[in-house]
Structures are given as structure tokens and as C-alpha cells.
Amino acid sequence: MTKIKNILFIMADQLRWDYLSCYGHKHLHTPNIDKLAAKGVRFDRAYVQSPVCGPSRASCYTGRTVFSHGSTWNRVPLPIGELTLGDYLRPLGVRTAVVGKTHMTPDAEGMARLGLTADTEIGCIISQPGFEPYERDDGLHPTPLLKKRGGKLRYNDYLRMHGYAGENPWNDFANSADGPDGEVLSGWYLRNSNLPARVKEEHSETAYMTERAREFIEETGDTPWLCHLSFIKPHWPYIAPAPYHDMYGAETFKDVIRSEDERRDPNPVYGAFMGMKVSESFSTQGVRETVLPAYMGLIKQIDDHLGKLFAYLEESGKADDTMIVFTSDHGDYLGDHWMGEKELFHEVSVRVPLIVYDPRPEADATRGTACAELVEAIDLVPTFLEATGAPDASHRLEGRSLCGLLRGETPDDWRTAAFSEIDYSFYAARQTLGVGVADARGYMLRSERWKYIYFTGFPPQLFDLENDPDEYTDLGRSAAHVDVRDTMKDMLLERLLKRRNRVTITDQGVVEVRSGEGKGGILIGNW
């Protein structure tokens, strides 16, 4: 099979799977992403390894589950010994770069132990989870935090060059609006979400990052590349530039998914998250309605700019040898289930869009099809490695290549359940529950019919997705479903026991060590 030369790995931030027209949204039309799906494969049941930015992305970059790689939350560094996409692809001559967000924290202690600094070539790569930081920008730059980081931001320099003055144009223009009396209204406040951002659309974060990705691709020329175009939006601050801020009104909104029954005697962990400020805000009348126009507009803007990038790839002839992947790091509750943000395991939070275009003739049979197999974010790394002809790394990787599915070949032993997990020790919910840091963990296993969620120290949750697809009724304490919970718990244990923790030697290496025992003169137990 021919090898893939280039990979365009696109990730939106906090994009729900059901907010694209190719996934069924009736009013939010995304024709360019739809065209990608029409010439590739749309995976209808794709799940992230954690519904939180940092750990989810770490799993996408390592091919390993969250408590395997150890970066369990946004500010928890990825250990220096973990291999990422760049580590696998650079030896093949593939220039591997990020344009936009990774939300990864460098392992400063590990780097110091090895005498590495970020101003060296290898130190820079390690501090940027294996990517060349062509344009690293996590998109969260409130002024106090920006000052703490030294005040430097390339996007701010770009904005100043275009006439946006001030200490922090990111905050004051790209993520703020004009008030009725000329005052600056912060996009951090949900009440301002339906106002147009002060920045011109052509200078917004989405427009800027898309152009930087095009510049990287053009600059790289004939050298093989992986460009991780990682959009900052539609993640909060929820504020969009005109004309995207008011394209969508109430008649275009999806019905909210929530029931009063969910608030009556909820699972304690779920109840604690419902009690957090962001959840209370999104459960208040009018908040969701104010935020949704911006959220939907930001998605529409991404689609429009991807259309320009896809056109460039076609015109330059690069589309013929470039695999394109479009996905998200997690969803967004947006008031569903009385929740804001993400973090827990309802479908709107943990399920994501995943579209893969493979230009090779071997994938012709599946173009424009939808795949119903359960796939996970950790499947991306083994997919990229197989596509580029990289050496096998199955002793480390916990995901499986999607290349077979792209060819229309479903392995007989494909997974029967999708897995995700969280470390909620950093959240107010943990304190509300009085849980110790080490015990603030949750695990999800989603089979064909059932979704089972295990919380350390608390009752589980169980949802019958066949009869209750919106996850209204928690059967975690139902006497009639003890057997189902036991079966799912056993399946979860089996999944946990399969983590790949021996990462420094291959399975074949183990076999070779065993076969060579005694040849070196060390004789144990001989008479």
C-alpha cells in the first residue's frame, strides 16, 4: 500500500459532534466540512479519552489513555518520557508542527533534570509536546495571565500591525465587544456573547490561524509534513466577529436536553457538577439563548475558512497526497443536563465529530460513507503511523489504526466498547463532595447499548442508550439492573488491565530476552 506524504490534522476546541450539518444539525450548515465527509469517512461514534482539553489532546498526541500518559488535567505536564506524534514522524523526515492550541504544559522538572532548556532545539520540541511551534497559541490570554507569561504573544503583534492598539489586543478587541456608551465589554461574561467582537473578521483568531497554517504548508514545499491546525474556537470566551455573531436565532437552536427528573436525587458526583457556577449559569433562563448564536457563528466561521484552506490544497495539488482529519477535543454541555462546560460523560460532552479523508485509491470504496464502529481519539496516532509507514509502536500505543476501516475492512476483533476517564481533583465539585485528590476519578465505558460510569467512592451511573438515547434516566442504583452493572464493571476492569505501561521495550524484545536466557552464563535454579 502506498504511503501518505502529508497530514493535515484539524482540531476544533469544544465542538460538539451534533453541531455540523453532516452530523444532522438542521440549521447550522457547514458545507466545507460536509464536502470533506463526502470524500472521506464520517465516524459516527467517536469518543475522546477525557472530556477536558489537556488530557484529551495528550491522548490524541500519544495514542495512550489519560492515566497511562499521566497528563490528567490542563496544568498537569505530560511526562518528558512520553512519545508524541513528532517523535514518531520526525525520524521519517516529516516536519511536524502545530498552528494553534495544544493546551499542554511542559514537564519543567523533567527538563531541568536532564539539563534541557526551551531555547534549545530539542528542549523547544519537548516543551511543545513534540511539535515544532510554528504558531503555538492556546487562545487564553487574559491580561493578568499574559503579564505573568512575559507579555509576548505573536497574535497581539499581528493585531497591533493592523491598528489594534493597547497592551493586550487579544483581550480588548478579539474577545471583547463595544458597549452602548463606548465602553469595552468583556467576552468573558456570558451576557455579552451575542454582541460582535471588536476585531474585524479577517483579523480574528480563526482567520489568523487558518492563514498561518496555509503559510506553513506553502513554506514546507516538497518536504513531507504534518500540520496540526488546532482552532481556538468555538471554546469560550463565546464571542464572534461580525457577521457571524448574529447569523443564528432562536428558530435555529437545537432543543435543550434536560429533564427536571435529572435534578431529583442525582448521582452525587453529577449533582456536585450541576452545582458549579458555570452549570448554574447555563441552567438560568436566557443564558443558553444568549450564548448559542456566538457558538454556532464561530463554528460557521471555522467552516468558511476551512473552505479557503481546502481550496488552496486543491489548487496547489497537495490534496492528492494529503490525509485530512477533522475532529474536536471534546463537546460542550451548553445547558444540556443542567450543565455548562464539559468534564462529565454525557454524549454531548464526550462524543466528538471525526472525519478522515484518505486520498489513496485503497480508500475509494468508502468515500462518502459513515462508519458506526466505536472509535477513540487514541486511534489517531496509530492511524498516522500506519499511513506514513512508521515503525510499529504497539507496545506503547493503546489505540488502533483506522486505516482498515478507511478501506472498508472491519477487523473481527474490533472493540465493543469506548473508554474515557477524568481526574476531577482540580474542580470545586471535589471539594463539595469532600473527596481526596487521589480519589477524584471517574471512568466511562460505552458499549453498544449501555453506558457505565464508575466514580471512586460513589454509586455508579448507568444509561440504557437503546431506550434512553438522551440519557435522562440514571439506572446506577436500579435494583433491576444489578447484573448489567456487574457485567459493565467487569468489562471496565478488563479495559483498565490492558493499559500499556511497559513502554521501553517491544513485545518482540521481551520474547528475545526470554529466548536468550541462560546464553550469557547466568544459570538460575540449575542442579
Q: Which residues contact 502 (CB under 8 A, 6 or more apart)?
A: 395, 510
Q: Which residue has the cell 487514541?
A: 378
Q: Which residues contact 238 (CB under 8 A, 6 or more apart)?
A: 187, 190, 193, 291, 294, 295, 298
Written in H, E and C, the secondary structure of 156-210 is: HHHHHHCCCCCCCHHHHHHCEEECCCCCEEECCCHHHCCCEECCCHHHCHHHHHH
Q: Cβ distance 42 to 356 under 8 Å?
A: no
What is the C-alpha separation between 411 and 398, in angstroms, rounded? Answer: 16
pLDDT in tens, 133-188: 999 999 999 999 999 989 999 999 999 999 999 999 999 999 999 999 999 999 99
Residue 164 grid coordinates: 489594534
Strands (E), 6-90: 6-13, 41-47
pTM for the full predicted model: 0.97
Could you give the 3-state DSSP secondary structure of residue 120?
coil
Could you give the 3-state DSSP secondary structure of residue 346?
coil
Instruction: HSE, CB side, 13 Å, CA atoms: give it for residue 368.
Output: 4
Domain ranges of the chain: 6-415
What is the C-alpha separation between 177 and 189, in angstroms, rounded? Answer: 11
Q: Which residues contact 234 (CB under 8 A, 6 or more apart)?
A: 12, 13, 14, 15, 294, 295, 298, 299, 302, 332
What is the C-alpha separation between 234 and 296, in angstroms, rounded? Answer: 8
What is the C-alpha separation between 296 and 247, in angstroms, rounded? Answer: 8
Could you give the 3-state DSSP secondary structure of residue 467?
coil
Regions of the chain short of the pLDDT cut 70: none
Architecture of domain 6-415: 3-Layer(aba) Sandwich (3.40)
* φ, ψ for residue 292, nearest 5 deg: -60, -40
DSSP H/E element including 326: strand 322-328
What is the C-alpha separation between 92 and 85, in angstroms, rounded? Answer: 11
pLDDT in tens, 224-280: 999 999 999 999 999 999 999 999 999 999 999 999 999 999 999 999 999 999 999
The predicted pLDDT at position 518 comes to 73
Pairing between strand 441-447 and 417-423? antiparallel
What is the C-alpha separation between 320 and 417, in angstroms, rounded? Answer: 34
Burial of 238 (0-12, 13-18, 19+ CB in 10 A): buried
The distance from CA 484 to its chain's CA centroid, rounded to whole angstroms, is 30
Q: Any bridge partners for residue 325, and if so which?
A: 9, 356
Q: Which residues contact 383 (CB under 8 A, 6 or more apart)?
A: 356, 401, 402, 403
